[in-house]
């Protein structure tokens, strides 16, 4: 088992993607990376806390390898825009990977980012060791499945899931 914490814009989007991936045993929306000793949605949305909307992804690496998790992450958000994903603007939406094992995970993360850079992409994704994780409020957990017709969800998440189904069908549940 491995754990990564990923920030790729709104956590509803990233969570929705990884809830569809086989081998992923748990996905929790939350906040990480700031200097404040706690985090909540209202404060994080202000952009003043330094925290990022993230998802903690626990996965069985005998079912889905780390590199595949990273490939899915980079394909389902834009790792070339700083502090922005679509209409979500601010440092709380930046692209970031927090690793839990420097020896096992960081070399793979660096290799995947290098591969994307070699393709001509200007990757701005930050890479850091894991910080204190603050789970988001309960109403944010599994938000898309609970609210599929909510305006943001209906407009932004289905294209990401479509890309997942098209490019990574071998990893779908």
Residue 87's pLDDT is 83
Question: Rounded CA gap, 172 and 105, in Å?
Answer: 22
| Catalytic, out of 10, 13, 45, 153 | 10
- Distance CA(6)–CA(75), nearest Å, equals 13
Between the CA of residue 29 and those of 7, 57, 111, 116, 162, what are the distances in Å? 10, 9, 26, 26, 21
Q: What is the percentage of the chain residues whose pLDDT exceeds 70?
A: 100
pLDDT in tens, 84-108: 888 889 999 999 999 999 999 999 9
Chain mean pLDDT for the chain? 94
Q: How do residues 104-118 score in pLDDT, each as one tens digit?
A: 999 999 999 999 999
User: Has domain 2-171 been given CATH number 3.30.420.40?
Assistant: no
Based on the residue annotation, tell me whether 153 is a catalytic residue of this protein: no
**Residue 47 pLDDT:** 87
Residue ranges of the domains in the chain?
A: 2-171
């Amino acid at each position: 088992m491995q754990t990564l914490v990923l920030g790729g814009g709104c956590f509803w989007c990233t969570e929705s993607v990884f809830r569809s991936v086989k081998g992923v045993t748990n996905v929790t929306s939350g906040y990480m990376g700031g200097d404040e000793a706690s985090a909540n949605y209202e404060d994080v949305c202000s952009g003043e806390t330094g925290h990022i909307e993230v998802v903690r992804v626990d996965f069985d690496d005998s079912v889905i390898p780390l590199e595949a998790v990273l490939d899915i992450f980079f394909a389902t958000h834009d790792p070339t825009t700083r502090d922005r994903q679509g209409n979500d603007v601010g440092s709380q939406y930046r692209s970031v990977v927090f690793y839990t094992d420097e020896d096992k995970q960081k070399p793979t993360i660096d290799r995947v980012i290098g591969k994307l850079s070699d393709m001509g992409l200007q990757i701005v994704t930050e890479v850091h060791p894991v910080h204190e994780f603050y789970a988001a409020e309960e109403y944010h957990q599994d938000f898309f499945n609970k609210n599929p017709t909510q305006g943001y969800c209906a407009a932004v998440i289905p294209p990401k899931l479509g890309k997942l189904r098209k490019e990574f069908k071998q990893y779908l549940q």
